[in-house]
């Protein structure tokens, strides 16, 4: 991607130097956070508990004097540029969408993107790196631990900066769903459905976030020639 000289977003909340390693070290703390993950983020219990158990060993010794590597700093700059590209695209097309879906033109409200390391507090409960990037509708914020991009390359076999940009655009897609009221509609509909039907609706919400990431990619390429 062509991004190096592009604008960086002002909406980055960099919490990477504020590690909350102590909270993780207590053993029981990790278990409690895993339970929060299961109920608040609706994660698969077996997977989250496994992550919590393995997190117990490592996190206690995490140093307070954390210094990011040059590679990590480049990833942070890249993330900030991609967020700016999402702002520039959605600023243009979001008002047209609100006219169509809500009958009135509304301006785009930019989300804040939180960079964190390991664990962080959100309006949706405690966010953990093991969950992968996520969006919290309660505080309109996207949360990313940059280590996920290494996982994306190595564990999920999806290397390349466009894959990374797409992950960010997907989370911003959840923000668009939140602004348009789609997330709320799904949430209240889920309460009237069986667990299985509800899950199916959540999958559709995920697919729509992917679709919105694609809409972003199309406009970013057309207007800013990013690829
Ligand atoms: Zn998603």
Q: What is the mean pLDDT of the chain?
A: 86
198 C-alpha to ligand 1 centroid (Å): 15
Distances in Å between the Cα of 35 and the Cα atoms of 23, 52, 167 are 15, 9, 25
**What does the domain layout of the chain look like in residue ranges?**
12-18+68-224, 20-62
Measured in angstroms, how far is the CA atom of residue 207 from the centroid of ligand 1?
8
Residue 24: what pLDDT?
Answer: 44
Ligand 1 centre from 173 Cα, in Å?
8
Pick the more confident residue, 227 or 100.
227
How much distance in Å is there from the Cα of 163 to the middle of ligand 1? 14
pTM, rounded to two decimals: 0.80
Give me 71's structure tokens.
């590679």
pLDDT score of 141: 98
**Confidence label for 102 from pLDDT (cuts 50, 70 and 90):** confident
Whether 119 contacts 33, CB under 8 Å = yes
164 alpha carbon – ligand 1 mean position (Å): 14
The first and second tokens of residue 205, run together, are 């919400």
């Amino acid at each position: 991607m062509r991004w190096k000289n592009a604008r960086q977003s002002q909406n980055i909340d960099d919490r990477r130097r504020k590690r909350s390693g102590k909270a993780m070290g207590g053993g029981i703390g990790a278990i409690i956070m895993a339970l929060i993950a299961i109920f608040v983020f609706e994660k698969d219990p077996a997977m989250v508990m496994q992550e919590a158990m393995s997190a117990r060993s490592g996190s206690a010794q995490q140093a307070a004097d954390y210094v990011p590597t040059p590679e990590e700093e480049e990833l942070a700059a890249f993330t900030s540029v991609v967020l700016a590209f999402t702002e520039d695209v959605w600023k243009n097309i979001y008002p047209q969408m609100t006219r169509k879906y809500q009958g009135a033109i509304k301006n785009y409200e930019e989300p804040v993107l939180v960079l964190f390391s390991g664990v962080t507090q959100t309006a949706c409960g405690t966010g953990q790196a093991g969950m992968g990037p996520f969006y919290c509708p309660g505080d309109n914020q996207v949360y990313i631990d940059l280590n996920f991009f290494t996982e994306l390359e190595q564990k999920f076999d999806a290397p390349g900066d466009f894959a990374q940009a797409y992950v960010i655009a997907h989370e911003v897609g959840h923000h668009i769903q939140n602004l348009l009221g789609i997330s709320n509609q799904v949430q209240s509909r889920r309460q009237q459905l069986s667990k299985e039907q509800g899950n199916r609706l959540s999958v559709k919400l995920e697919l729509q976030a992917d679709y919105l990431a694609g809409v972003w990619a199309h406009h970013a390429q057309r207007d800013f020639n990013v690829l």
